[in-house]
Amino acid sequence: MSTPVRQVPYVDIAGQHVAIKEELLEAIDTVITLGQFILGEEVERFERDFAKLCGVRFAVGVNSGTDALVLALRALGVGDGEGDEVITAPNSFVASAGSIGLAGARPVFVDVGEDYNIDPGRIAEAITPSTKAIMPVHLTGRPAAMDEIVEIAREFGLLVIEDCAQAVMAEYRGRRAGSLGHVGCFSFHPLKTLNACGDGGVVTTDDENLYEKLRVMRNLGLRTRDECVTWSTNSRLDALQAAVLLVKLKYLGRWTAKRRANAAYYQAELGSLEEVVVPIDALHERAVYHTFVIQAERRDELRAHLKRRGVGTAVHYPVPIHLQPAAAELGNPPGSFPVTEHQVTRIVSLPVYPELQSSQLEQVVGAVHEFYRT
Ligand SMILES: *Cc1c(COP(=O)(O)O)cnc(C)c1O
For residues 297-305, average pLDDT: 98
Give a yes or no: residue 280 inside a domain.
Answer: yes
Q: How far apart are CA 20 and CA 45, in angstroms?
A: 20
Count of structural domains within the chain = 2
Distance from residue 273's CA to the centre of ligand 1 (Å) = 32
Q: How far apart are CA 236 and CA 364, in angstroms?
A: 40
Q: How far apart are CA 174 and CA 170, in angstroms?
A: 9
Alpha helix stretches (DSSP H) within the chain: 13-18, 21-34, 41-54, 65-75, 94-102, 146-156, 208-217, 239-270, 299-308, 338-343, 358-373
Give a yes or no: residue 6 inside a domain.
Answer: no
The pick from 63, 66, 135 for probing ligand 1's pocket by mutation, whose C-beta has the most ligand atoms within 8 angstroms, reads: 66
Please give the C-alpha separations between residue 370 and each of 306, 308, 362, in angstroms, as whole numbers. Answer: 10, 12, 12
- Encode pLDDT of 235-279 as tens digits: 999 999 999 999 999 999 999 999 999 999 999 999 999 999 999
The pick from 187, 245, 317 for probing ligand 1's pocket by mutation, whose C-beta has the most ligand atoms within 8 angstroms, reads: 187
Say what the pTM is. Answer: 0.98
For residues 12-18, average pLDDT: 93
145, burial (CB in 10 Å: exposed 0-12, middle 13-18, buried 19+) = buried
Last residue of a domain, one of 211, 246, 281: 246
Residue 78 and residue 105 in contact, taking contact as beta carbons nearer than 8 Å: yes
- Encode pLDDT of 265-274 as tens digits: 999 999 999 9
Interstrand relation of 276-277 and 285-286 (parallel, antiparallel or unpaired): unpaired
Ligand 1 pocket check for 143: Cβ under 6 Å: no
Of 366, 252, 277, which is closest to residue 8 (Cα–Cα)?
366
Give a yes or no: residue 209 inside a domain.
Answer: yes
Distance from residue 260's CA to the centre of ligand 1 (Å) = 21
pLDDT-derived band at 281, boundaries 50, 70, 90: confident
Bridge partners, residue 88, by sequence = 109, 135
For residue 1, pLDDT beyond 70: no
Q: Which residues are within 8 A (CB) of 105 and not within 5 positions of it... i.e. 6 or more apart?
A: 73, 78, 79, 84, 85, 86, 132
Give a yes or no: residue 369 inside a domain.
Answer: yes
For residue 65, pLDDT beyond 90: yes
pLDDT-derived band at 3, boundaries 50, 70, 90: confident
Last residue of a domain, one of 246, 272, 289: 246
Of 273, 290, 255, 253, which is closest to residue 364 (Cα–Cα)?
273
- The CATH number covering residue 269 comes to 3.90.1150.10
Residues 156 and 46 in one domain: yes
| Ligand 1 atom closest to 199 (CA) | 7
- Encode pLDDT of 108-149 as tens digits: 999 999 999 999 999 999 999 999 999 999 999 999 999 999
Calculated CA dihedral for residues 188, 193, 197, 201, nearest 10 degrees:
-10
Q: How far apart are CA 341 and CA 318, in angstroms?
A: 10
